[in-house]
């Protein structure tokens, strides 16, 4: 996780900047991190960064496929650097905990609808909703 980040950026034709490296580190260190948490983490590392730069960096990284954006209902967008393995997510309705779930198929799209209405599909996003063990134990907090 050293200067690999730099080469990744360069290999996609992006400039290597301290802000982008810090954003990549934040996403890499904290799975399912939110934009706000990224901002905090980068500020800790660099002292300052504008909200704009964070969104911009995250947006570009997502565009380039370096990180993945997840936008579950009722929660701000989250980012993760586990890309390419097409895994899915499991979310607790009660505490919003988000857990990775491996995809049994492993390639995209891993599911095919009976009728695709002429669309050309590139991804099947699966979110499992349920209640996590902790929240099951303590139903109403």
Residues lying near DNA in the complex (CB under 7 A) are found at: 10, 14-20, 34-36, 48-53, 55-57, 59-60, 71, 75-77
Using N-to-C axis directions, what is the helix angle for 18-29 and 4-11, rounded to 10°?
110
Q: How many other β-carbons are positioned within 10 Å of the β-carbon of residue 32?
A: 19
Q: How far is the CB of 103 from DNA (least distance, A)?
A: 24
Closest by CA to 22, choosing from 12, 47, 34, 31, is 47
Closest by CA to 65, choosing from 36, 89, 42, 86, is 86
**Which of DNA, its own copies, none sits in contact with 53, Cβ below 5 to 8 A by type?**
DNA
What is the spatial distance between Cα 79 and Cα 28, in angstroms, rounded to a whole number?
A: 9
Q: Interface mask (CB under 8 A) for its own copies, residues 3-32, using x and -?
A: ------------------------------
**Which of DNA, its own copies, none sits in contact with 139, Cβ below 5 to 8 A by type?**
none
Which chain residues interact with its own copies by CB under 8 A?
Answer: 69-71, 73-74, 77, 88, 90, 92-93, 99, 101-102, 104, 109, 111, 113-133, 136
């Amino acid at each position: 996780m050293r200067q690999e980040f730099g080469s990744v950026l360069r290999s996609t034709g992006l400039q290597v900047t301290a802000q982008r490296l810090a954003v990549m580190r934040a996403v890499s260190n904290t799975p399912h991190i939110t934009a706000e948490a990224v901002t905090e983490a980068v500020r800790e590392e660099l002292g300052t960064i504008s909200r704009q730069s964070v969104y911009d960096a995250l947006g570009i990284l997502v565009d380039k496929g370096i990180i993945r954006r997840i936008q579950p209902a009722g929660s701000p967008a989250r980012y993760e650097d586990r890309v390419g393995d097409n895994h899915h997510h499991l979310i607790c309705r009660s505490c919003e905990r988000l857990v990775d779930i491996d995809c049994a198929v492993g390639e995209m799209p891993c599911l095919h609808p009976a009728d695709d209405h002429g669309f050309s599909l590139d991804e099947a996003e699966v979110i499992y909703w349920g209640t996590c063990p902790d929240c099951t134990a303590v139903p109403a907090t």
